[in-house]
């Protein structure tokens, strides 16, 4: 018996529904906000634009004009750096953005006050960025430094139209309220944005952040750092034969014992997508990482197996190259398992 492919009738294209448009917009916003360098580039450009917009509104004395143009030019330069190479800069460089931003805002706030132009509200852009992407203690430290800097500006610089105390409170009173809202939202979103909803493991975002942090820690302390990649064997066949609900149940059953099988405090197990998982093992060399991988495999339910690849950081490669090397080792192990060799790579 022969089978013929039956072409389905063409369906007219439907206009995007409001729900799909909202979903797409939300996904774009999440993607944008999840990358600090993009946000930094945007805020640097926004600050430069805010200064540029006030230039035609006054006849500025030459010193004040210079104090506005130079910070705006620096902001444009920083925006270009963040937009082009920002993703490759270490995470601690965000502190440089915040500190430099507060310094430049202090300069333009002092210059603007000479013509009764309030540019101190630009502090709020800097502090919101700090609260979004820096640890809360560091962000509050930057906020305190900005408050002290503006107090100095009000004390020794040109006085704005309103009394200095009122001027300070109008900016940093707003900053405190806005900061409390941002911290509350960030604490809620971080808990949901860093956890895989199906397995309860860390998700890829949490994995990427921790990997960068552990690489920096390893570079400072000279300690070993290994990455283990795991891929469940035969998962696609389960999905195809029994459906996605069965695949989801398999993922939950396979990963449930893994938290107990890892060491407390340092190791991180994350679901990176589908049936692919990663184990971050700070302080573990290749032998230690293989032992951890064996513990994860031994913890799998009966009848479930996984292919494993291990890579120990050589202190020269970046995070992507390290993960890629572990990934290649995992696929090499998967090919060997098909040939009957069940040792981890």
Contact of 202 with 270, CB cutoff 8 Å = yes
CB count in 10 Å sphere of residue 58: 15
Region at 342 (left for phi over 0; alpha for psi -120 to 50; beta for the rest): alpha
Please report the pLDDT score of residue 130 as a whole number: 92
Residue 159 is inside which H or E element, if any?
none
- As a whole number of angstroms, the distance between CA 190 and CA 148 comes to 30
Lowest mean pLDDT among 43-47, 189-193, 277-281: 189-193
Domain limits, CATH 3.30.70.270, in the chain: 204-338
Average pLDDT, the chain: 84
Please report the pLDDT score of residue 9 as a whole number: 38
Handedness of CA 92, 96, 99, 105 (dihedral sign): negative
Q: Residues 22-33: what's their mean pLDDT?
A: 68
- As a whole number of angstroms, the distance between CA 319 and CA 157 comes to 47
Please report the pLDDT score of residue 28 as a whole number: 74
Taken as a whole, the chain contains a residue count of: 345
Burial pattern 251-265, b for ≥16 Cβ within 10 A else e, equals: beebbeebeebbeee
Lowest mean pLDDT among 219-223, 238-242, 268-272, 335-339: 335-339
Four-way CATH pick for 204-338: 3.30.1390.20, 3.40.50.720, 3.30.70.270, 1.10.10.10:
3.30.70.270
Quote the pTM value: 0.55
Higher pLDDT, 210 or 23: 210
Identify the burial level of 297 via C-beta atoms within 10 angstroms of its C-beta, where 0-12 means exposed, 13-18 middle and 19 or more buried.
middle
Please report the pLDDT score of residue 334 as a whole number: 84
- As a whole number of angstroms, the distance between CA 109 and CA 79 comes to 20
**Residue 295, SS3 per DSSP:** helix
- Nearest in space to 109 (alpha carbons), one of 54, 62, 45: 54
Lowest mean pLDDT among 136-140, 146-150, 325-329: 136-140
Per-residue confidence at 58, pLDDT binned at 50, 70, 90? confident
Let me know the angle formed at the C-alpha of 319 by 316 and 321, rounded to the nearest 5 degrees. 70
Handedness of CA 218, 219, 222, 226 (dihedral sign): positive
Lowest mean pLDDT among 15-29, 169-183, 203-217, 304-318: 15-29
- As a whole number of angstroms, the distance between CA 169 and CA 141 comes to 18
* Cα pseudo-dihedral 294, 298, 301, 307, rounded to 10: 30
Q: Tell me the pairing of strands 268-273 and 306-312.
A: unpaired
99-116 residue pLDDT tens: 999 999 999 999 988 777
Q: Residues 12-22: what's their mean pLDDT?
A: 48
DSSP structural state of residue 308: E
37-55 residue pLDDT tens: 999 999 999 999 999 999 9
Q: Which of 23-37, 51-65, 249-263 has the highest mean pLDDT?
A: 51-65
């Amino acid at each position: 018996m022969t089978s013929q492919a039956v072409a389905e009738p063409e369906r007219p294209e439907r206009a995007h529904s409001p729900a799909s448009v909202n979903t797409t917009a939300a996904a774009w916003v999440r993607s944008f906000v999840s990358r600090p360098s993009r946000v930094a580039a945007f805020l640097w450009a926004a600050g430069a634009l805010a200064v540029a917009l006030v230039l035609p509104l006054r006849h500025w004395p030459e010193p004040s004009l210079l104090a506005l143009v130079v910070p705006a030019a620096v902001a444009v330069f920083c925006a270009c750096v963040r937009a082009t190479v920002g993703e490759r800069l270490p995470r601690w460089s965000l502190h440089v953005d915040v500190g430099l931003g507060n310094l430049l805002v202090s300069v333009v706030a002092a210059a603007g006050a000479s013509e009764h132009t309030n540019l101190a509200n630009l502090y709020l852009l800097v502090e919101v960025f700090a609260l979004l992407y820096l640890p809360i203690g560091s962000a509050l430290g930057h906020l305190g430094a900005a408050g002290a800097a503006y107090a100095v500006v009000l004390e020794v610089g040109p006085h704005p139209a309103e009394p200095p105390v009122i001027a300070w409170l109008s900016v940093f009173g707003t900053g405190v309220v806005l900061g409390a809202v941002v911290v509350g939202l960030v604490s809620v979103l971080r808990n949901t944005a860093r956890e895989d909803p199906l397995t309860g493991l860390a998700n890829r975002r949490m994995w990427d952040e921790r990997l960068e942090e552990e690489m920096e820690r390893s570079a400072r302390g000279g300690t070993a750092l290994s990455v283990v990649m795991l891929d469940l064997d035969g998962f696609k066949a389960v999905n195809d034969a029994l459906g996605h609900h069965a695949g989801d149940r398999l993922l939950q059953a396979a990963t449930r014992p893994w938290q107990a099988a890892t060491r407390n405090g340092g190791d991180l197990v994350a679901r990176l997508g589908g049936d692919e998982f990663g184990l971050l093992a700070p302080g573990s060399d290749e032998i230690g990482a293989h032992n951890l991988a064996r513990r994860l495999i031994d913890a799998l339910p009966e009848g479930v197996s996984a292919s494993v690849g291990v890579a120990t950081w050589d202190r020269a490669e970046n995070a992507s190259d390290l993960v890629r090397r572990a990934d290649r080792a995992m696929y090499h192990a998967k090919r060997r398992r098909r040939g009957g060799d069940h040792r981890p790579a």
